[in-house]
Amino acid sequence: MTSETITPAADERVRRQGILRQLLRRPELGAIGGTILVWVFFAIAAGDSGFLSLRGTANYLGVAAELGILAIAVALLMIAGEFDLSVGSIIGGTGMITAILSVEFGWNVWAAVGVSLIAALIVGAINGILVNRTKLPSFIITLATLFIIRGLTVGLTRLITGRTQVGGVKDALGYDSAAAFFANSLNIVDPTSARGAEAQFPISILWWVLIAAIATYILLRTRPGNWIFGIGGDENAARNVGVPVHRMKITLFMATAAAAWLVATIQVLSTGGADTLRGQQREFYAIIAVVVGGTLLTGGYGSAIGALFGALIYGMVQQGIVFTGVDSDWFLVFMGAMLIIAVLVNNFIRKQASEAK
């Protein structure tokens, strides 16, 4: 008795896609290409100045990591069609809560960090509830909370401490263990240094990559990920098929607030202090990184990996300008130009992808 393996015939109705066509449909394609071009440019322009060294790499990765943590959470929210402009003020506010509780009131740093996280989640929930209840654009709601939180941070800090900066966190109880978890660096001897100097790779880089991996898994492999794309594509249609739109929006606003808290915690434990103005313009840099990463401002399209590469471009440009010796005042010019170019490139790629269907 013989057995035969029957291979089912391919369905002629299913159109096979080439690798190029599949790549064109990926939101992060433009950001990956931009990352390569920016790296090559600074490798040529500033390679002899330290950009290619291990220390130079650690510098721009550290800068990119802090923005990237924020940008990835902002990307998920923007894919759902919403904005959060309050994240910059949440960085300043939660960082100051941690510093004041641990320095002025003698709290254990871990307890202070926990309270600041709760405060951040409350702000995020309020943002989400207000957007759902008022039906006002999230741009307006979070712009208002940006000013409210920034004003409360400055006013209450002056009232409690008489100043706008608080230091001494490194002397607080529980600092060493908290810093080891959130902010310490991995020191690696830089072989390009004649004196054997060490390159410090902050642990925030690991946080950045881990969060990007989790966000990517959620977007591509889970039901909530489908909900996020559905809400951004057509909120009413998503609601009609049973997607919990209000609950998902509140969750995403809480996620952006939590990301801002994590950035603030890393900064406070790295520097040993807090400043009421810390986090200024971070919300705009995060949006730029997300848009450079291929996410549409109108929602429904984007990726966490794209936001990761968008933040990496930001870090390389910021530190690359330093290595080339160009006045840092020109950095904002580069950022504005990058935003326009990224939107044009992403529109071109999406047009090519649609024509290739």
Structural domains of the chain ordered from first start: 51-342 (1.10.3470)
Q: What is the pLDDT of residue 14?
A: 43
Angle at 300 between CA 38 and CA 32, to 5 degrees: 15
Q: What is the pLDDT of residue 1?
A: 45
Q: What is the pLDDT of residue 10?
A: 47
102/109 Cα distance (integer angstroms): 5
Q: What is the pLDDT of residue 282?
A: 93
Name residues whose C-beta falls within 8 Å of residue 293's C-beta, 6 or more positions apart in sequence.
Answer: 27, 28, 31, 71, 75, 302, 303, 305, 306, 307, 308, 309, 310, 311
Q: What is the pLDDT of residue 13?
A: 43
Q: What is the pLDDT of residue 18?
A: 58
268/156 Cα distance (integer angstroms): 18
For 52, other C-beta atoms within 10 Å of its C-beta total 16
> Do residues 252 and 128 touch, judged by C-beta distance below 8 A?
yes
24/349 Cα distance (integer angstroms): 6
pLDDT in tens, the chain (357 residues): 444 555 454 444 445 555 656 655 678 888 888 899 889 989 998 888 889 989 899 999 999 999 999 999 999 999 999 999 999 999 999 999 999 999 999 999 999 999 999 999 999 999 999 999 999 999 999 999 999 999 999 999 999 999 999 999 999 999 999 999 999 888 887 776 656 577 889 999 999 999 999 999 999 999 999 999 999 999 999 999 999 999 999 999 999 999 999 999 999 999 999 999 999 999 999 999 999 998 988 899 999 999 999 999 999 999 998 888 887 778 888 888 877 887 787 777 667 656 655
By CB neighbour count within 10 A (0-12 exposed, 13-18 middle, 19+ buried), where does 294 fall? buried
Q: What is the pLDDT of residue 352?
A: 64
